[in-house]
Amino acid sequence: DKDVYILGIESSCDDTSAAVLHNNVLLSNVTSSQAVHQSYGGVVPELASRAHQQNIVPVVDQALKKAGIEKEQLSAVAFTRGPGLMGSLLVGVSFAKGFARALGIPMVDVNHLQGHVMAHFIQEPDMQNPIPPFPFLCLLVSGGNSQIVKVNAYNDMEVLGQTIDDAAGEAIDKCSKVMGLGYPGGPIIDRLARQGNPAAFKFAQPNIPELDYSFSGLKTSFLYSLQKWIKDDPNFIENHKEDLAASLEFTIVDILMKKLKLAVKQTGITHVAVAGGVSANNGLRNAFHEAADKLGWTIYIPKFGYTTDNAAMIGITGYFKYLDKVFCSIDKPAFSKVTF
């Protein structure tokens, strides 16, 4: 097991991605994002699966080429089996199974959420990235999930708390849609927020016990507040978009960090990571740095390329499962529902 080459494949939502790893070192990570959804203000599942069909072969080809290896050198194919959009998953899952079968190598199924957490273990040829020691906490915030995960080992993750309704990313995207901004709203809100006042407006904060989250109340509060303000000033959004973005981002980061701080207090674990698409957010990253300075946390923030959906994180998870000989049989189907 000295030279393990893993092909990782990700197709759970609207990004078709393939990556090649040599052991824990990433050789290539090729992602084709689907612009087709932008005009709809959200991912259209049927269009997503069609685009995956078109993208999957060229993306895998490119990943192998960039890595400088032949497909015959691969040790295994790792793929996202779920959760995600079923039509999207089927493309990656079927491709991965067929490819692995044709090459006569094992298939490794990967849970997309575990993949996001495992992004922290990716190493690069000229770069030693800091790796969190077990156990550590991971705030997993994406378009579909908001969870606090206790990571005991590569293959042992416990969900300590999670959203009871919307995910943080979903809330940001919906609020930005209400403001008439583009899709996905997260990066746009992030950019606008840099020029705004986070204390300009107050929005509802949830009152949820323990370590769970809720973002649907905030979404409603944002919508109703906007409707009221627009009545008095039809140009309200245009005139205040930076302050609105900054205040919205502040509220979401505040909600996320309050429960994460509680989780640190309850577990005594001060190695804290963040993962998922929303971990690209500058406000959230700043809050992590502040917690490191003021509360003594050791923080782990992924590189931007590993925050949103990518196959590198699927490949690294597959690598560790491969070492443990945890393989997937050909009859295991894709699954759409969130499980950990």
Under rule CB under 6 A, residue 115 binds ligand KG4: no
The DSSP call for residue 37 is G
Are 249 and 193 contacting, i.e. CB atoms less than 8 angstroms apart?
A: yes
Rounded Cα distance between 336 and 243, Å, is 37
CB atoms within 10 A of CB 40: 10
114, 334 contact by CB (below 8 A): no
Closer of 14 and 243 to ligand KG4 (Cβ): 14
Among 226, 278, 328, 334, binds ligand KG4 (CB under 6 A): 278
Give 190 or 322: the residue with its C-beta nearer to ligand KG4: 190
CB 284 to ligand KG4: min, Å: 7
- Span from 93-101, 185-193, 227-235, 259-267 in contact with ligand KG4 (CB under 6 A): 185-193
Tell me the closest approach of the beta carbon of residue 89 to ligand KG4, in angstroms: 12
Residues flagged as binding site for Fe cation: 112, 116, 309
Q: Which is nearer to ligand KG4, 74 or 252 (CB)?
A: 252
Which segments are annotated as binding site? 112, 116, 140-144, 173, 186, 190, 281, 309
Which residues in 154-262 belong to E strands, given as ranges? Answer: 156-162
Cβ neighbours of residue 235 closer than 8 Å, sequence gap 6 or more: none
Q: Does 309 bind ligand KG4 (CB under 6 A)?
A: yes
Is the Cβ–Cβ distance between 307 and 277 less than 8 Å? yes
- Distinct helix (H) and strand (E) counts, the chain: 9, 10
- Measured CA to CA, the distance from residue 171 to residue 192 in angstroms comes to 16
Site size toward ligand KG4 (CB under 6 A) is 19
The phi and psi torsions of 182 (rounded to 5 degrees) equal -80, -175
At closest approach, how far in Å is the CB of 310 from ligand KG4? 8
| Crossing angle (nearest 10°) for helices 282-295 and 236-267 | 40
Assigned token pair, 282: 């500058």
Question: What minimum distance in Å lies between the beta carbon of 2 and ligand KG4?
Answer: 33
Query: Judged by CB under 6 A, which stretch of 125-133, 169-177, 212-220, 287-295 contacts ligand KG4?
Result: 169-177
Residue 291 lies near ligand KG4 (rule: CB under 6 A): no
- Classified as helix, coil or strand, 152 is strand
Among 190, 243, 247, 306, binds ligand KG4 (CB under 6 A): 190
User: Given the complex with ligand KG4, which of 173 and 212 has the nearer CB atom?
Assistant: 173
What is the spatial order of strands in the sheet that 136-141 belongs to?
156-162, 146-153, 136-141, 271-275, 298-300
- In 3-state terms, what secondary structure has residue 301? coil
Q: Which is nearer to ligand KG4, 278 or 311 (CB)?
A: 278
Name which position in 82, 106, 276, 315 contacts ligand KG4 (CB under 6 A): 276
Candidate residues 82, 184, 206, 302; the one interacting with ligand KG4 per rule CB under 6 A: 184
Closest CA to 108 of 155, 40, 44: 155
**Annotated binding-site positions for substrate:** 140-144, 173, 186, 190, 281
Task: State the helix-helix crossing angle for 282-295 and 185-193, rounded to 10 degrees.
Answer: 60
Minimum CB–partner distance for residue 73 and ligand KG4 (Å): 30
Could you say which residues in the range 16-35 bind ligand KG4, by CB under 6 A?
Answer: none
What is the footprint of ligand KG4 within residues 123-162 (CB under 6 A)? 142-144
Note the residues at the interface with ligand KG4 (CB under 6 A).
13, 142-144, 169, 172-173, 184-187, 190, 276-278, 280-281, 308-309
